[in-house]
Amino acid sequence: MSERLQPGDTAPAFTLPDADGKQVSLADHKGRKVIVYFYPAALTPGCTKQACDFTDNLDLLAGHGYDVIGISPDKPEKLAKFREKEDLKVTLLGDPDKTVLENYGAFGEKKLYGKTVTGVIRSTVILDEDGKVERALYNVKATGHVAKIIKDLGL
């Protein structure tokens, strides 16, 4: 089981491919606040709802200095399909070997329909301009989560 991040922790660095296969690093966002959210799979109902919510609120979040990055175990080809189909504007990164998911505490045991399974734990980590964890939210719901973040951040 991977360790969950706590406020004040330095966010683990990462470089992952985006939907176009281009390498994107957390370091590329230095000096900006970043919302990194982890979701189980592109093109599934809950993950689509969450990605669309982030896209719908991207201007508001960006206006307050937040970049949004979604990370799943999907390969770039599937992320590209997801982006095109849903007209997504958030940066989608693929972590097929799940290293970043594990480093952020977003992969491990979870309950699914009453059974314990190992998989992606829907999570959101909010980082400050220096790459420190401001908030780490685990086992979040896909629906209504973005609205809750906006409310909690007072945006």
CA distance 33 to 146: 16
Chain centroid to CA 70: how far? 4
Per the residue annotation, which of 19, 47, 92, 146 is the catalytic one? 47
At a CB cut-off of 8 Å and minimum separation 6, what does 97 contact? none
Judge whether 52 counts as a catalytic residue.
no
Q: Which residues are catalytic?
A: 47
